[in-house]
Each structure stands twice: as structure tokens, then as C-alpha cells.
């Protein structure tokens, strides 16, 4: 369904709900903040919502119950789980009994939303200004997306149109809860943020065995290696996305970025001044580009494995090579500190020291995160000096460390595609990432290269 159809479906559903049920919804105020550190059942049971993006967000729940003829005040975020699954704006009820008494009428909106969604999939939609078919002429493919025509860019990189979304063709692939969500929201992550402040400890049963956490990380490594081999002058980042997507299908894995909060592709490709969350498109990689490929795989066992590397394509200049090597050494310095008893906040000091020695800066907006059965969870792992991260490492903790290192300022700007984060001064950025497990005496790099339990700098491995 294209964006226009999605908006139409939501608008029509909300209007119909207001008309038929005489809803008295409370006013809602959304506050969004994007950061790296972002399944309800179908029973007639309300769920407590915590409806925000990756890290922060507020919502007012003051007002009357949505049930007709009920004047009770809403005091909790008790919303219909089916509405949340369909991506409809939530409406709130004073309690379970009120919701159940009204459910026979309320559920009609679910059918309407599903009907409109089905109809939109089967009709030809006009161009959305963002995508074009794979067989389009080169001039069309390389044209700017609609949002970019009057946009002021910080650096020389320009986006192009995107290919149509890729589909999950392997029936063995297990999908995370956000894969089919209207808005790409992970309800399991929302519930986790609302109710859990502890860092999960993973044991042998979750780490080992068929398709479990260690396996998911190994699959992520294999997939990244294949994507990295595809990177070369003249290849589009969309082609890298195709390679990554097909490699995931071959391994019975879901590409975790796909539809996560509506991210449109199966991998993030961040070129030159792009810090992170770059969307693969029809732009060809140029001689001298640095290209980060960020892969996350979701196994049939229900676990995510996350890693990335930055590649030097062709003849990269001295500054480009400096920022890439610095990013690698920043991550290596941080991982040397990972062991039981280390404060999570202290990793930022080690990273800052290496970056400063090489006249680079550390991005502050995005951070590492806990990972496993959830794509993003506690702990938050900031990469900059004097951060206020909470928590102490314990054996069994699993998380990512992924410092983003810039040649110039650490400040970032997000393009109007609502995803691509770039440096505020247009200078280049590089990044490396691993998923790590805290062991009794140190750490295990779950996403390590073959025969490389400790990170070792070898420029030949990232040269393309």
C-alpha cells in the first residue's frame, strides 16, 4: 500500500469511528525523537500503550472514555489492541468492562480498515514521488525524490528514487511483530519500554541451539560479508539491498530493518556524510566513496543479530581513510573494556579518547542498545564522553556498540525522508558495530569475522 492509500485508510477509519460510535476521544499530543536506542493479541482485552518512537515520546490521556454514553475519565492508556496492530490512531477506554460492552460496535472499524487496505493493494496507484520500477529509464531512476526538490543539503550527496519494496518470499522466515504492522511499530518493544527497566540476562538455552541468538549473529555476519563483496564502483546501494535481502531469504532470516517503523529497505547503506539510516537507492557508488553497510538478521528462533562495517571504495583520500580507521579503533577500544563490573557510561570515555587523538568527533544523537529477542531494548550505550548512561555490565548481557565518528562536527541533521542522518557540516562519517556478549572474564564478539575473536585492523579487508 502506498503512503497516500495508508493516509486515506486512516482518515476514513477515524471519520467512520467518530460518526458511528460518537467517540469522545481524549486529545493526544505526540512528541517524537529519533534515536537508535527505536504483538498485541486479538482478544477483547485492552492493552496499556506506550506509544512513542525509539526513545522518547509523550501522550496525553486526559479526557472522557471513548465508549458512547460513558462519562468516566480516562486515567490509563487502555487502548484496543487490534487498532494498534492495524496502525490506527488509538482511542482510550476507562476500563475492560466498558470496552467489552462496546466491542460489538467498535470492531466494525477493524473490518473497514482491512477492506480499504486490501482494495489499495489491488488497484494501480499514481506515482508517489519516491519510488519507480526497476525497469525505469536511468534518468527517471536518478531523479530527486519529491521531498528533496527544495531541501537544503549539508553536503554533496544527493538521494535518488527507490526501487519498489522487496517481499518475503521464503515461507520459513519468521517475521517480527512489526513486519506487518501498518506503521511498522513493534508492540513488543513498546510493552518492554513501558514495563521493564532491567537489562536481560541471556543463558545457554537462549544463546545456543538451532536458530538462537548466537546463530542469528552468525547469519548477520555471513549476510554482511556478502553485501560487502557487492560494494564497488558503479554498483547501486539498491543492488546491495537486493543482495542482502536474498541472502536473508536463503538463510531463513528476516532482514530486521524492513518495515521497522516503516523503514522501506532490508539494510541501511550510509555513504560519505551519511551517519546512519541511509536508505538504499538507485545512486551508483563512486570512486572514493566510503560506504557503511548495516545489517541485522532475525532468525527463526526469534533473535536479532546486528553489525556493520564501513568500506573504502576505490581511491579514498587520506581523510576518508583516517575517519574509517578511527571508527574501527574506537569500537575496538570500547570492546576491550567490556566485562562484568564495567559501567556502561564508561565506554564513551574510551571512544572519545581515540576519536580526539585522531582529530575526529563522536556523534551523540545515536547509541548502542540491548538486543536479542527485541531489536532495541535496554541498555542504552552512548558513545560520547561524560554521558549519563545507567547500568553495570553483568555476565549474560547482550548489546551492541556502534560508535559513529565524524571528520568535523558531531552535530547531525535528518533529511526529510525522516530517516537519513547526515553530518551538519557535510563532512564524512564512518562506523563499525558488533553485537557482544558479556562473559565471566570479558566479552565474546558474537558478530566477529571468522578466526578474529579480537578486533584487528586490516585495511585490506575493507578495501573495495
Residues ≥6 apart with Cβ < 8 Å to 177: 39, 186, 187, 188
Between 383 and 23, residue with greater pLDDT:
383
Percent of the chain with pLDDT over 70: 80
Does pLDDT of 416 surpass 80? yes
Does pLDDT of 457 surpass 80? yes
Does pLDDT of 389 surpass 50? yes
Whole-number Å distance between alpha carbons of 137 and 365: 38
Confidence of residue 247 (pLDDT cuts 50, 70, 90): very high
Does pLDDT of 266 surpass 90? yes
CB 207 within 8 A of CB 443: no
Grid cell locating 2: 502506498
pLDDT for 66 equals 76
pLDDT for 81 equals 76
**How far, CA to CA in Å, does 213 sit from each of 193, 216, 252, 312, 421?**
21, 5, 14, 30, 29
**How far, CA to CA in Å, does 139 sit from each of 143, 148, 242?**
6, 16, 21
Whole-number Å distance between alpha carbons of 200 and 179: 23
pLDDT for 38 equals 35
Between 299 and 29, residue with greater pLDDT:
299
Name the one residue in this structure whose C-alpha cell is 503512503: 3
**How far, CA to CA in Å, does 274 sit from each of 62, 73, 156?**
40, 47, 11
pLDDT for 86 equals 66
Does pLDDT of 3 surpass 50? no
pLDDT tens, position by position, 15-65:
444 434 333 333 332 222 334 343 333 334 545 444 333 333 323 344 677
pLDDT for 195 equals 83
Confidence of residue 70 (pLDDT cuts 50, 70, 90): confident
CB 164 within 8 A of CB 134: yes
What is the average per-residue pLDDT within 369-377? 97
Does pLDDT of 203 surpass 80? yes
pLDDT for 75 equals 72
Grid cell locating 460: 585490506
pLDDT tens, position by position, 336-349:
999 999 999 999 99
pLDDT for 32 equals 25
What is the average per-residue pLDDT within 226-241? 98
pLDDT tens, position by position, 142-189:
999 999 999 999 999 999 999 999 999 999 999 999 999 988 999 999
- What is the chain's mean pLDDT, rounded? 84
pLDDT for 355 equals 98
pLDDT for 89 equals 65
Confidence of residue 453 (pLDDT cuts 50, 70, 90): confident
Is the pTM value of this prediction over 0.85?
A: no
Amino acid at each position: 500500500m502506498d503512503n497516500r492509500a495508508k493516509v486515506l485508510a486512516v482518515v476514513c477509519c477515524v471519520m467512520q469511528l467518530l460518526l458511528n460510535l460518537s467517540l469522545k476521544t481524549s486529545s493526544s499530543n505526540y512528541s517524537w525523537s529519533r534515536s537508535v536506542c527505536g504483538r498485541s493479541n486479538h482478544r477483547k482485552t485492552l492493552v496499556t500503550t506506550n506509544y512513542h518512537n525509539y526513545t522518547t515520546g509523550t501522550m496525553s490521556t486526559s479526557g472522557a472514555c471513548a465508549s458512547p454514553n460513558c462519562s468516566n475519565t480516562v486515567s490509563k492508556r487502555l487502548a484496543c489492541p487490534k487498532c494498534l496492530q492495524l496502525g490506527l490512531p488509538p482511542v482510550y477506554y476507562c476500563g475492560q468492562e466498558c470496552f467489552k460492552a462496546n466491542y460489538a460496535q467498535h470492531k466494525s472499524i477493524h473490518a473497514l480498515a482491512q477492506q480499504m487496505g486490501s482494495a489499495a493493494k489491488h488497484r494501480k496507484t499514481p506515482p508517489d514521488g519516491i519510488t519507480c520500477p526497476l525497469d525505469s529509464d536511468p534518468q527517471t531512476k536518478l531523479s530527486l525524490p519529491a521531498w528533496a526538490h527544495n531541501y537544503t543539503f549539508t553536503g554533496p550527496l544527493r538521494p535518488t528514487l527507490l526501487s519498489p519494496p522487496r517481499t518475503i518470499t521464503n515461507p520459513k522466515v519468521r517475521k517480527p511483530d512489526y513486519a506487518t504492522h501498518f506503521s511498522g511499530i513493534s508492540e513488543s518493544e513498546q510493552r518492554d519500554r513501558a514495563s521493564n527497566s532491567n537489562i536481560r540476562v541471556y543463558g545457554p538455552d537462549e544463546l545456543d541451539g538451532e536458530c538462537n541468538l548466537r546463530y542469528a549473529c552468525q547469519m548477520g555476519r555471513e549476510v554482511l560479508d556478502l553485501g560487502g563483496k557487492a560494494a564497488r564502483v558503479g554498483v547501486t546501494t539498491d543492488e546491495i539491498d537486493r543482495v542482502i535481502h536474498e541472502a536473508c531469504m536463503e538463510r531463513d532470516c528476516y532482514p530486521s530493518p524492513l518495515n521497522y517503523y516503516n523503514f522501506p529497505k532490508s539494510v541501511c547503506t550510509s555513504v560519505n556524510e551519511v551517519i546512519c539510516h541511509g536508505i538504499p537507492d538507485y545512486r551508483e557508488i563512486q570512486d572514493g566513496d566510503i560506504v557503511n553497510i548495516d545489517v541485522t538478521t532475525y532468525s527463526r528462533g526469534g533473535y536479532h543479530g546486528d553489525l556493520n562495517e564501513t568500506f573504502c571504495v576505490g581511491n579514498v583520500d587520506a581523510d576518508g581513510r583516517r575517519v574509517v580507521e578511527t571508527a574501527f579503533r574506537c569500537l575496538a577500544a570500547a570492546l576491550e573494556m567490556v566485562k562484568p563490573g564495567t559501567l556502561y557510561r564508561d565506554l564513551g570515555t574510551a571512544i572519545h579518547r581515540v576519536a580526539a587523538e585522531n582529530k575526529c568527533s563522536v556523534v551523540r544523537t545515536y547509541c548502542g542498545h540491548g538486543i536479542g529477542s527485541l531489536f532495541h531494548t535496554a541498555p542504552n550505550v552512548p558513545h560520547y564522553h561524560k554521558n549519563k548512561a545507567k547500568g553495570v555490565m553483568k555476565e549474560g548481557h547482550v548489546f551492541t556498540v556502534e560508535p559513529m565518528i565524524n571528520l568535523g562536527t558531531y552535530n547531525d541533521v535528518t533529511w526529510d525522508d525522516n530517516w537519513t542522518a547526515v553530518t551538519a557540516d557535510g563532512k564524512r562519517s564512518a562506523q563499525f558495530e558488533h553485537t557482544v556478549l558479556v562473559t565471566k572474564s570479558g566479552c565474546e564478539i558474537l558478530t566477529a569475522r571468522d578466526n578474529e575473536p579480537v578486533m584487528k585492523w586490516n585495511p585490506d579487508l575493507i578495501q573495495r
